[in-house]
Amino acid sequence: MLVNLYAVRVVLGVLGADDFGIFNVVGGIVVLFTFLNFAMTSATQRFLNFALGRNDMEQAKDVYSVSLVIHLLIAVLVVVLAQTVGLWFFHTWLNIPPERQAAAFVVYQFSVATTVIGILQVPYRATIMAHEKMTFFATLSIVEAVLKLGIVFLLPVILFDHLKIYVFLIFVTRIVILLIHKIYCNTTFETARFRYCKDRQLFRQLMGFSGWSVFGGVASLSRDHGTNILLNIFHGVTVNAAMGVATQVNSAVFQFVGNFQMAFNPQITKLYSAKDYDSFMRLVFRAAKASFCLLFFFALPLSVNADFILRLWLNNVPEYSVVFVQLILLFSLLEAIVAPLGMSVQATGDIKKYQLIISCFIFANMPLSLLFLWMGFNPVWVLVIRVGIRVISFIWQVFFFLGEKIKLPVLGFLREVIIPVSVTALASVIMVVFLRNFFYSDWNKLIISSVVSTISIGLLTYWVVINKEERALLRNWINSKRNGKKID
């Protein structure tokens, strides 16, 4: 997180707001063509987890081999779309200063190449996650952070066009990470051996599962990157720079929760495949609570001090950055608590109705954002709409779908998850906002709000969010660390 945040500061300072905005919006065009990859990522992980949950190694080998072929085909399709439809959109619709058109074209081509590398990496990453090799994943994350840090230190001393050099170095980094993934998987897991698979039924199952996930992938990409393109069309690259800053802050903070969720995702699917439904539901509840609280630890002090932190962090803070950061963190808090519910549906394998309705909610972001921007509303409304739609879709998931789909005990979920985390969030916000008003210095406000939020969230999480059984587990774990013993 620290490397990512420092990198944004240096990159924004070296590139400037306009070039930083170009990097974000141009890269977003390419990402729009990865909707099939988004779907296949979910399918690959689900089928690998399901096979390993049943200890069916032959099936796991077939899933790995078929997914390699499918992702290669997806990579080819992305290149074709990017060099035809994507280039047409790039030259026709993007609002880019004329003097930076050539540099933007270089960014576009390297973004295509980097995206292809990311697509080819999916089967290896899914294999590592399915085998729950979190130590390797953590080590590789550190390696990637060090490589990014090297780019940050190198960028200011390069005499060539900084934007072109930056995208090239990002591309080289992704190649290195792909090679490390491939070498580790091929030498560690017997399931990660490509072999010709004649099981056409498996191919159809993977494509069928991913087919419904395509709706969710297209919808999410249209919300995240399509609205960014709308901001570019109506307000130019400076607003894209502000959105880029907010997105980078959110990505750095959400990394904690994202890594945590990578750890529980395989277990949710494996428990469902083993038909251990009590443990399955208990893990979904715990994952939802832990995801929210973990993110809230960072989101609260960052949100209330966003103006000072951004001024301290960046030499040049793009307009709208502060409110963008606050709203996107609020959206991520909702996503954190909903993610385990979505994964529980993925575990069942029957996602048709879920993906269709959720995708309709997500798709609504584009026309509503377009309408509000066309009517002259402030760019902030793009994220206000995003948060509002997420609240509505969350209500549908809990009250009208999951009770029937996975037998989610709705009242139990409200009592054990929603009410405790809401009380914790509301009480912590009130305490932090109230106490920081007694101080005038920005530094004092930052320090007192960070201390108060940490203490209040910690205590309220222990006494309000986690239940009696979970408190006992936590105490046993702490005692085991004190005594140097290992417990299950």
Tens digits of pLDDT across the chain (488 residues): 777 777 777 787 788 878 878 877 777 666 655 555 556 667 777 788 888 877 888 888 888 888 888 888 888 888 898 899 888 988 887 778 888 888 889 888 988 898 888 888 888 888 888 888 888 888 888 888 888 888 878 888 887 788 888 889 989 998 999 999 999 999 998 888 888 877 777 777 777 666 666 677 778 878 887 888 899 889 888 888 888 888 888 887 777 777 778 778 888 888 888 888 899 999 999 999 999 999 999 999 999 999 999 998 887 788 899 999 999 999 999 999 998 998 888 888 777 888 889 989 999 999 999 999 999 999 999 999 999 999 999 999 998 888 888 888 999 999 999 999 999 999 999 999 999 888 888 999 999 999 999 999 999 999 999 998 889 988 888 888 777 655 55
DSSP 8-state code for residue 276: -
358 is a domain residue: yes
* Residue type at 82 in one-letter notation: A
Q: Do the beta carbons of residue 77 and residue 37 sit within 8 Å?
A: no
pLDDT of residue 211: 64
Residue with token string 């990394």? 255
Whole-number Cα distances in Å, 156 to 7, 87, 102, 165, 219: 12, 30, 21, 11, 37
User: In 3D, which of 158, 108, 129 has the Cα closest to residue 47?
Assistant: 129
Q: Can you give the pTM of this predicted structure?
A: 0.76
Angle at 340 between CA 266 and CA 226, to 5 degrees: 105
Q: Do the beta carbons of residue 294 and residue 254 sit within 8 Å?
A: no
User: In 3D, which of 485, 439, 18 has the Cα closest to residue 236?
Assistant: 18
The span from the CA of 175 to the CA of 114, in Å, is 8
Q: Do the beta carbons of residue 212 and residue 353 sit within 8 Å?
A: no
Written as six digits, the tokens of 404 are: 């029937």
Distance, CA of 407 to chain centre = 27
Written as six digits, the tokens of 347 are: 């575990």
Q: How buried is residue 227: exposed, middle or buried, by Cβ count under 10 Å (0-12/13-18/19+)?
A: buried
196 is a domain residue: yes
Residue with token string 């690959």? 44
* Residue type at 33 in one-letter notation: F
Count structural domains, the chain. Answer: 1
> Number of helices and strands (H, E) in the chain?
21, 0
The span from the CA of 151 to the CA of 3, in Å, is 11
Give 279-320 as a DSSP string.
HHHHHHHHHHHHHHHHHHHHHHHHHHTHHHHHHHH-SS--TT
Residue with token string 């930076």? 100
What is the signed CA dihedral for 108, 113, 118, 122, rounded to 10 degrees? 130
152 is a domain residue: yes
The span from the CA of 487 to the CA of 473, in Å, is 10
455 is a domain residue: no
> How many Cα atoms occupy the beta-carbon half-sphere of 277 within 13 Å?
7
Cβ atoms within 10 Å of 468's Cβ, excluding its own: 7
For the packed helices 442-460 and 419-436, what is the interaxial angle rounded to 10 degrees?
150
Written as six digits, the tokens of 35 are: 């909707």
Cβ atoms within 10 Å of 34's Cβ, excluding its own: 25
Q: How buried is residue 320: exposed, middle or buried, by Cβ count under 10 Å (0-12/13-18/19+)?
A: buried
The span from the CA of 127 to the CA of 65, in Å, is 11
483 is a domain residue: no
pLDDT of residue 453: 94
Find the domain containing 46 and state its range.
2-408
17 three-class SS: helix
User: In 3D, which of 439, 445, 471, 444 has the Cα closest to residue 458?
Assistant: 471
Distance, CA of 115 to chain centre = 16
Write the secondary structure of 159-222 as one string of H (helix), E (strand) and C (coil).
CCCHHHHHHHHHHHHHHHHHHHHHHHHHHHCCCCCCCCCCCHHHHHHHHHHHHHHHHHHHHHHH
User: In 3D, which of 24, 55, 60 has the Cα closest to residue 44?
Assistant: 60
205 is a domain residue: yes
51 is a domain residue: yes
473 is a domain residue: no
